[in-house]
Amino acid sequence: MKKILVLISGRGSNLAALLEAVDKNEIAGRIVHVISNRADAGGLNFARERGIPTTIIPSKDFNDREAFDMALGDAIAKEQPDLIVLAGFMRILGEKINARFAGKIINIHPALLPSYPGLHTHRRALDDGVKWHGCTVHFVTLKVDIGPIIGQAVVPVLPDDDEGALAARVLESEHRLLVDCVRWFCEDRLTVRDNKVILHDEVGSACAQQHPQG
């Protein structure tokens, strides 16, 4: 069983999806700790309800990023997790903390990377008139929203979509994709070669990612 630690900043619906999957034994791991950089992150309650330890490290109390990263890194290190999931964690991690947990940090981003890194992805996709949008789970590297891509899920952009409607459709796909990617990680089915992630099937052959199903 892999030890999973989740970092959040807000609502925590992706955390909730992971917790439900763990509850149903869909993931060969358990969530050992949830850390938030905001005391008011609603998602903390999903962990508290299950008696999972939570820690708040308020980023606003730190003058510089390195000091925050150091405190965060120390809190993470105490659990010695196998996997750290950034699930709506709205802080950029610096060089040292990345190096400390290299290859163990994954992030969910609400766009089909490398399109639309950064913020306001749904608004930008609507402005551009793209017909397909979606989400990406990737290993975290030093460059923001760039890193070996583990999985992607695609959703249509519909003619009457506004930002809220599109965000809701993408979010549903995020929940399924994140569970799939965490499951693969916990089953040791991911390897990274030349900056690309290879997904292996049960007998170890490279295989294509199936589109996550609801």
User: From the centroid of its chain, how far is CA 213?
Assistant: 18
**Site stretch for ligand GRF (CB under 6 A), options 7-15, 147-155, 156-164, 203-211:** 7-15
**Does 10 participate in binding ligand GRF (rule CB under 6 A)?**
yes
* Cβ atoms of residues 95 and 69 within 8 Å: no
What residues between 176 and 195 interact with ligand GRF by CB under 6 A?
Answer: none
Between strands 105-109 and 83-86, the pairing is parallel
Residues 106-145: x where in contact with ligand GRF by CB under 6 A, - otherwise, as a string: --xxx-----------------------------------
Residue that the structure tokens 């120390």 belong to: 74
What is the number of the residue whose Cβ is closest to ligand GRF?
A: 88
| Cβ partners under 8 Å of residue 114, min gap 6 | 146
Residue 76 contacts residue 84 (beta carbons within 8 Å): yes
Smaller CB separation from ligand GRF, 45 or 191: 45
Closest contact distance (angstroms) between CB of 57 and ligand GRF is 17
- Count residues near ligand GRF (CB under 6 A): 14
Binding-residue pattern over the window 33 to 62 for ligand GRF, x denoting contact by CB under 6 A: ----------x-------------------
Residues 57 and 37: beta-carbon distance below 8 Å:
yes
Per 3-state DSSP, the chain is made up of helix, strand and coil in percentages (nearest 5) of: 35, 25, 40
Give least dist CB 16 to ligand GRF, A.
8
Burial of 80: CB neighbours in 10 Å, binned 0-12, 13-18, 19+: exposed
- CB nearer to ligand GRF: give 200 or 211: 211
Binding site for ligand GRF (CB under 6 A): 8, 10-14, 43, 87-88, 108-110, 171, 174
Active site residues: 109
